[in-house]
Structure 1
Amino acid sequence: MRRVTDGADAVGQALNRALRSVPVEKVPLFRQSFISVLIVSAAVLSTILPWLVVTDVVTMWLGVVVALAASAFTGLMARHAELRRWELVVPAADFVAVGLLRYGTGAERSVFLPIVLLAVIWIASWPGRRNVLLPLAGTCVTLLMPYLFDPGGRGPSELIRLAFALVVYATVAASVNELARQAKARLERARAQQHAVERELNRAAVVQQSLLPPDASTLPDAFAVFGACVPAREVGGDFFDWYPTSTGIAVTVGDVMGKGVGAGMIAAAVRSVIRSSVDDADPSEAFRRASVGLTTSAYDTETQFTTSFHARIDADGGVLWADAGHGLAFVRRASGRVDRLNSADLPIGVGTGWQGHRSQLGEGDVFVCVSDGVLDLFPVELEALNDLERLLAATPEPARIVEVVERLALERERSDDVTVVATALAPTSVPVQP
């Protein structure tokens, strides 16, 4: 009996694999096509091959007619969804068709009884324990049909043989039904997990959106500031920020390792702490505060770290900046030369100390900071940094830099968020003398 069960499992799994590629509305037609082809082939072979027994030609071909009628009904079901409620009629007709074929090709001597197994699997593949009993009843109809046409002439041994056949087919039905039940349970769990992931991503998207600053209208008119963040398919921990200071503006770009709500919460915490350090003269103090805050919190900073670049830009072009393992800040000079603002300091959550640095923006210079997702936009990984510097060298306006990077991010596949901020001293307008 174990071999029968294993064989039924294999048949059910093979049938399920074949059905996955078939549209739902055409599944009954797909199943019935196999049964009808087998029944028609059995009748044709019995007619042309002399060693196959034909005891009743009319009954044999009547079975073919019933199978073809069931195929026609499944064709209507594929076109009219409301007929799907009557799908049980089709395998029920197949039990009758196989019974007629069996009687017409020698009854107990017929070699075509196994065709009924397809109808058994059809019904048993529907979830629900009652779908084990229905194919058992249909098999009884198939096996007992010769008694309808010829009540006499069969001894007790035939009844015992039929009883064992029923046990075998009942085992097949129970095995397939159990497979269907397990498949449905796995599908429901997968759907629940998918919905949970979607809810988390939606919450993470809200968190990430809240990390972006309002437009630059709150900043002093002496600066032209532009920024964009293009999320990847999965929400990550990229953020950028800007806000006014007593001498100019502060600009921050950060990238938390990881994705989802956890990364967004850490990004929100780092951003808030950096903002709170607005009155500190040294921008590196913001990173020290953020590190202390994360270390004394529930966040696991041993496995979750943040790279960040924080700059204070004065109205005279002076730039005080600190880099926590970010390494992707540049000054695009008016001459077209691109200077990278390098630092050996480690990310927040890894490093323990950060140094402040000083640079100077002149007229026409542009300060640019991007996240590492920008490097993924270029085709050759080892040349990505050089490609980015060439892009900056060819693009003198801060608004245009942000526009070009944002367009590349929207046009190409990406696995990470793309963030870019560009700022320059706004040109001073000289009043025209009358």
Structure 2
Amino acid sequence: MSKPYKILVVDDEPDLEPLILQRMRRHIRSNEYEFVFAPNGVEALNMLNADQTIDMVLSDINMPKMDGLTLLQQLPGVDPNLRAVIISAYGDMDNIRTAMNRGAFDFVTKPIDFDDLKITIGRTLDHLSEWREALSSRDQLVALQNELSIASQLQQSILPKNSPVTEDYEVAANMEPARNIGGDFYDFFPMDDEIAVVVADVSDKGIPASMFMMSSRTALKGAAIGLRQPEKALAEVNNQLHQDNPTFMFVTMVYALYNPTTGSFTYSIAGHDPPLLVSADGNVSEMASTDGVALGIASDIRFSQNTVTLSPGDTVVLFTDGVTEAMDEHREQFGMERLYEVFEARPPASALAANEAVFEAVRGFAGDAPQSDDITCLTLRHT
């Protein structure tokens, strides 16, 4: 049987230990995870120095003797390959942003949603596994292509793996990079009674774009948890990216909050193509633009937002310009008109069907022509 991942939980609440052991018992019994516990940062550091087999740290921020933010600063000196996830009070954006800047891979909020915690732990350990594979393979790499392949796996590991299909809504998404490493990304995650969705496109390709993409993703998740309005979240992300941007890169983005109960879809756009709305009868229209500029170009930019109410059977299609600017052998672009034709009079039966229809149409149009840009599409269907 393979060795379980060992996770150190650092929290001064005595009730958390039995709760985690009870809620994670299936993972413990199946030898996936092993949990050890420390009540503060000082004892956590002692355990980390004494036990080199700990893979991940799940730490609260507010603790006696040494808080979680101070602990984060100490972790690279113990093991630079440790992955840390922070537990924070809901809406504590300042501490979340500080934690991310100090190397936290992700965060969860109190009160802990154990379904979300399991997903976060799984994604963190997937990333750690890919990173370890990259390190073990590093000395054997003889070509840049191999290095790019490992980096591509790292990038893919942060994208959501399971697309939700519920009685109220469906989400499907896919990203096909033009190179081993792309500059596009998508994400979706729960926000209380709403679902956050995002599609973004970094200005470059390759490793620099991948690094900037990861910074953009981290900044958005931190902003989203504290600033519920999409227009304010984008303004916060923009300021964070602009503060430390020596390469002058930028990212276009659509960020939205969707309420499955009411059908409300509130979105803000930063220099990106507006989403399409495909109604249940096959009518296709472009959502109104909010006229925001790309993120990272200048500080203190104001953004605006729009809200549409989805009816049962409506599908929202978010995409990057790799879809509309895909070229065939004669360098003709796919264009918006062909994207409309994918759905006109043929409303999709599901979010997955809508997503696959977009990629099938683009591939069929491009033929054997080389892919010139990353292709990303996220579809959300209000059922």
- TM-score bucket of the superposed structures, by smaller chain: 0.5 to 0.7
Letter aligned with residue 254 of structure 2: F
Instruction: Tell me the distance in 2 between the aligned counterparts of 1:344 and 1:390.
Output: 25
Q: 1:307 and 2:257 equivalent? A: no
Aligned residues of 1:230 and 1:406 also touching (Cα < 8 A): no
Mapping of residues 317-328 of structure 1, within 5 Å? 317-328=263-274
Gaps in structure 1 of 5+ consecutive residues: 1-193, 427-434
Q: 1:407 and 2:360 equivalent? A: yes
Q: 1:358 aligns with which of 300, 304, 307?
A: 307
Instruction: Note the alpha carbon deviations across 1:400-424, whole angstroms, 9 max, x for none.
Output: 1211223345554311111111111
Corresponding residue SS for 1:347: coil
Q: 1:385 aligns with which of 308, 328, 336?
A: 336
Question: Following TM superposition, where does structure 1 have runs of at least 4 consecutive aligned residues deviating by more than 6 angstroms?
Answer: none
1:208 to partner: Cα distance: 2.4
Mapping of residues 24-423 of structure 1, within 5 Å? 197-217=144-164, 221-276=167-222, 277-297=224-244, 299-300=245-246, 302=248, 304-315=249-260, 316-341=262-287, 342-350=289-297, 352-377=301-326, 379=328, 381=332, 384-397=335-348, 398-408=351-361, 412=367, 413-423=370-380
Corresponding residue SS for 1:258: coil
Q: Which has the higher helix share?
A: 1
Aligned residues of 1:237 and 1:264 also touching (Cα < 8 A): yes
1:200 to partner: Cα distance: 4.6
**Cα distance change of structure 1 residues 221 and 293 upon mapping to structure 2, 3 Å threshold:** farther
Corresponding residue for residue 12 of structure 1: none
Corresponding residue for residue 21 of structure 2: none
Instruction: Tell me the distance in 2 between the aligned counterparts of 1:261 and 1:378.
Output: 24
Instruction: Tell me the distance in 2 between the aligned counterparts of 1:357 and 1:251.
Output: 15
Instruction: Note the alpha carbon deviations across 1:207-247, whole angstroms, 9 max, x for none.
Output: 42133112124x76421111111122352211000011212
CA RMSD of superposed structures (Å): 2.4
Aligned residues of 2:342 and 2:358 also touching (Cα < 8 A): no
Aligned residues of 1:336 and 1:394 also touching (Cα < 8 A): yes
Instruction: Tell me the distance in 2 between the aligned counterparts of 1:211 and 1:418.
Output: 17
**Cα distance change of structure 1 residues 240 and 234 upon mapping to structure 2, 3 Å threshold:** same
Instruction: Tell me the distance in 2 between the aligned counterparts of 1:294 and 1:301.
Output: 11
Q: Which has the higher strand share?
A: 2
1:319 to partner: Cα distance: 0.9
**Cα distance change of structure 1 residues 416 and 206 upon mapping to structure 2, 3 Å threshold:** same
Letter aligned with residue 424 of structure 1: R
Instruction: Note the alpha carbon deviations across 1:97-122, whole angstroms, 9 max, x for none.
Output: xxxxxxxxxxxxxxxxxxxxxxxxxx
Equivalenced residues, count: 230
Q: Report the TM-score when normalising by structure 2.
A: 0.55
Instruction: Tell me the distance in 2 between the aligned counterparts of 1:222 and 1:301.
Output: 43
Q: Report the TM-score when normalising by structure 1.
A: 0.49
Aligned residues of 2:253 and 2:270 also touching (Cα < 8 A): yes
Instruction: Tell me the distance in 1 between the aligned counterparts of 2:216 and 2:293.
Output: 15
